[in-house]
Amino acid sequence: MPNPQENARLEQIKRSWQQKRQITERLGKIKTKIGVYSGKGGVGKTTVAVNLAVTLAQQGNNVGLLDVDIDCPNVTKVLGIDEKPEYVDGQIYPSEKWGVRVVSMAFFQQNEEEAIIWRGPMIHNAINQFLQTTEWGDLDYLVVDLPPGTSDSPLTVMQTLPMDGFVVVSTPQALANMDAKRCINMIRKLNLNVLGVVENYTGEIFGEGGGKQLAEDVDAPFLGNLALRASYRDNSKPTALLDPIVGEEYTHVVKAVKKSLQELGKEAG
């Protein structure tokens, strides 16, 4: 006589295998997948992810940007994009702006000020839905804006999406670097690659050097400083496209990221 528990377990294994197969097929045309990650919120992770993506696009690459910070999806605001993706026959076709194809939970909120109060399984399902149904097409790079911290949400992304490496964003302050060190330890415990550390908010107000010291402490590449500048207050377009000095900073970061990818054999070419 069939065992209901055993049947349920086998059915779950089958569904999980089908999900992974669908995700692998969806991501098959993407050459390089880069996660942008931080140990805590408020360090400018989304700003870095967006400007990294548009800088790669400006260099002639086909680029996608996936916002899986389900609780606080802010990529659309930084990009200044309102046009929602098309949803046809169960497939999501990303919106596009500044040469970057974009998918974010923000597109599917009726009210952007409404809090998304979901437990882990619902977040897990939403992330899987994005990965299974988005038709990215041919991409040189997919930049993924992860949720901060070391809890269930980033873990789901890391275990589901085969990332080529992670850019870790921190700031000069000691507390931010302590949290960043935790997320670097999480990446490495999962046998994934740290591409390097970016220090954001560098300058007179918050200081300088904490990110570089963190990189030395964890034996990871230091990808560069991103100074705190008034030009970030202009929301008309990503700051790397507005301010030539910021653009140069991101060009330097992109060059360092590519170097790390090359050393790992993961560069898009």
Q: Does some domain include residue 188?
A: yes
> How many domains does the structure of the chain reveal?
1
Q: Does some domain include residue 22?
A: no
The domain spanning residue 200 has which CATH number?
Answer: 3.40.50.300
Q: Which domain holds residue 96?
A: 30-264
pLDDT in tens, the chain (269 residues): 557 777 777 776 766 677 777 777 778 889 999 999 998 888 999 999 999 999 999 999 999 999 988 777 888 889 989 888 888 888 899 999 999 999 988 787 666 666 666 566 777 777 888 888 889 999 999 999 998 887 777 888 888 888 999 999 999 998 889 999 999 999 999 999 999 999 999 999 999 999 999 999 999 999 999 999 999 999 999 999 999 999 999 999 999 999 999 998 877 65
Q: Does some domain include residue 16?
A: no
With beta carbons less than 8 A apart as the criterion, state whether 71 and 80 touch: no
pTM of the entire structure? 0.89
Q: Does some domain include residue 9?
A: no
Q: Does some domain include residue 175?
A: yes
